[in-house]
Amino acid sequence: MVNMKNLYLYHIIYESMTACLKQFICLLILLSPHIAIANEVLPPKKVNWPFEGAFGTVDRKAAQRGFQVYKEVCAACHGLYNLYYRNLKDLGFSDAEIKEIAKSYTIQDGPNDLGEMFERAALPSDHFSRPYPNEQAARAANNGAYPPDLSLIIKARSNGANYLYSLLTGYTNPPDHFKLMTGLHYNPYFPGSQLAMPAPLTDGQVSYIDGTEASVEQMAMDVTNFLQWAAEPEMENRKSLGLKVILFLVVFTIFFVISKNRIWQNVK
């Protein structure tokens, strides 16, 4: 015999679950435009970079300008923890220039004979100076957001160079129906379309030493070239070695084929 009390209980549970499901579906329908917009990420702009391809090289003039952009704009919040000042010699900076660049920063060193830490001018052998002493200080200075280290940012992001260039040049006003959270900034190239970092670049923000016009697009391209080099300072040597290995294998493959044919030519 069917237990009427259990049937009634099952009916109550079924009705409650159905009502909750209907409310959830209605909520999704109401929020769907905002969800779609928030999750919509534009594909990165396509730029022809000089470092792309098997024969790609570092555009040292652009990378030097990019270092200037990093130094004057980005270094206030973002570190380059994997680089030493002496590495700048690979970009064409002289030893005297590197010493001048390094000594404009202070580094915490020690302990001294009294067991105390002290500050001194940076040397070419030092890592790039950190903008904040620790993560907590970085978050406190940036409304809770943690500015990432830029040493490997190009390799850490999919399609890194194009992504970074698109992000730096992609700040714009949000659509009318987009709900921008307080303290965030709209950028359709960033996942979720909103991020804590305001637009870092404005036209004429940097006075290039070589006289190049400092438009947002130019500065974004230059700093991307610099950060590509920072992520792969060995790139040119790696590509050069790879091409030599391929050439070696091609020559010796031809040599071995010719030798095999001559050795076995009388064998039927």
If DSSP states are collapsed to H, E and C, what string results for the chain? CCCHHHHHHHHHHHHHHHHHHHHHHHHHHHHHHHHHHHHCCCCCCCCCCCCCCCCCCCCHHHHHHHHHHHHHCHHHCCCCCCCEHHHHHHHCCCHHHHHHHHHCCEEEECCCCCCCCEEEECCCCCECCCCCCCHHHHHHHCCCCCCCCCCCHHHHCCCHHHHHHHHHHCCCCCCCCCCCCCCCEECCCCCCCEECCCCCCCCCCCCCCCCCCCCHHHHHHHHHHHHHHHHCCCHHHHHHHHHHHHHHHHHHHHHHHHHHHHHCCCCC
Q: In this predicted structure, what is the pLDDT of residue 2?
A: 45
Instruction: Select from 139, 111, 101, 107 the least CA-distant residue to 122.
Output: 107
CB-count exposure of residue 62 (10 Å: 0-12, 13-18, 19+) = buried
- 10-residue mean pLDDT profile of the chain (268 residues): values are 51 61 53 48 93 93 97 95 95 95 90 87 94 93 92 94 97 91 94 93 95 97 98 92 92 90 80
Rounded to the nearest angstrom, the gap between the alpha carbon of residue 120 and the centroid of all alpha carbons in its chain is 30
Would the annotation count 221 as a binding residue? no
**What pLDDT was estimated at residue 88?**
96
Among residues 163, 160, 155, which one has the least CA distance to residue 42? 163
The strand pairing partners of 255, in sequence order, are: none
The reported pLDDT for the residue numbered 262 is 86
Question: What's the pLDDT score for residue 3?
Answer: 54
pLDDT value, residue 157: 92
Asked if 215 and 138 touch (Cβ cutoff 8 Å), the reply is no
Closest CA to 162 of 78, 68, 49: 49
Residue 101 corresponds to which amino acid? I
Is 34 marked within a binding site? no
- The answer to whether the annotation marks 77 as part of a ligand binding site is yes
* The pLDDT value given to residue 1: 44
74 labeled binding residue: yes
